[in-house]
Amino acid sequence: MKVEARLFDITTAFFFVSAVVYGAWAKEPVGLVALILTGGLSLIIGSYFHFVARRAEQRPEDDPDAEIADGAGEMGFFSPGSYWPAGVAASAGLTAVALAFMQIWLIVIGGVVLLLTVGGLVFEYHTRPNVTE
């Protein structure tokens, strides 16, 4: 996580330096505010990565002397074939189109379908706990 934290530190510095240069040069407030807010959001993400990096064990990506083979092994479980992401994308698209045309009834339908498909994606491999009495 230290690598990601450094990347966001660099982007945060870039946005704040850009805001100073833009504010001195352009004299236009909207772009200045946008750059400051973008730098602030980047600072939030970088701070989160610093927070997590202190508590997580060191990964091979964080070790400058690591070999490629150090990162080998199981990375986690990935669904071999799930249709839920397509449903999430379709329902998010429906909701976005409904928002674009400001159709309240379609926004409600799209939001409900979006929540159902996200729930299906999250709980796709969830099984009941084995309760033995």
**In a shared domain, residues 39 and 97:** no
**In a shared domain, residues 117 and 61:** no
Contact yes or no for 110/91 (Cβ under 8 A): yes
**In a shared domain, residues 90 and 64:** no
**In a shared domain, residues 55 and 103:** no
Contact yes or no for 71/60 (Cβ under 8 A): yes
130 occurs within a structural domain: no
Encoded amino acid at 69, one letter: A
End-to-end CA distance of the chain: 44
Per-residue pLDDT of the chain (133 residues; tens, 9 = 90+): 788 999 999 999 999 999 999 999 998 999 999 999 999 999 999 999 999 988 888 888 778 888 888 888 887 777 788 899 999 999 999 999 999 999 999 999 999 999 999 999 988 888 777 666 6
How many domains is the chain built from?
A: 2
**In a shared domain, residues 59 and 93:** no
75 occurs within a structural domain: no
Q: Give the C-alpha separation, 69 to 130, whole Å.
A: 38
128 occurs within a structural domain: no
**In a shared domain, residues 24 and 64:** yes
Encoded amino acid at 67, one letter: E
Confidence at residue 77, expressed as pLDDT on a 0 to 100 scale: 75
**In a shared domain, residues 22 and 53:** yes
Angle ∠(1,76,127) on CA atoms, nearest 5: 125
What residue numbers bound the domain in which 116 lies?
A: 84-122
Max alpha carbon distance in the chain (Å)? 74
Residue 71 carries which DSSP code?
G
Going by C-alpha positions, the residue among 49, 51, 43 that lies closest to residue 19 is 43
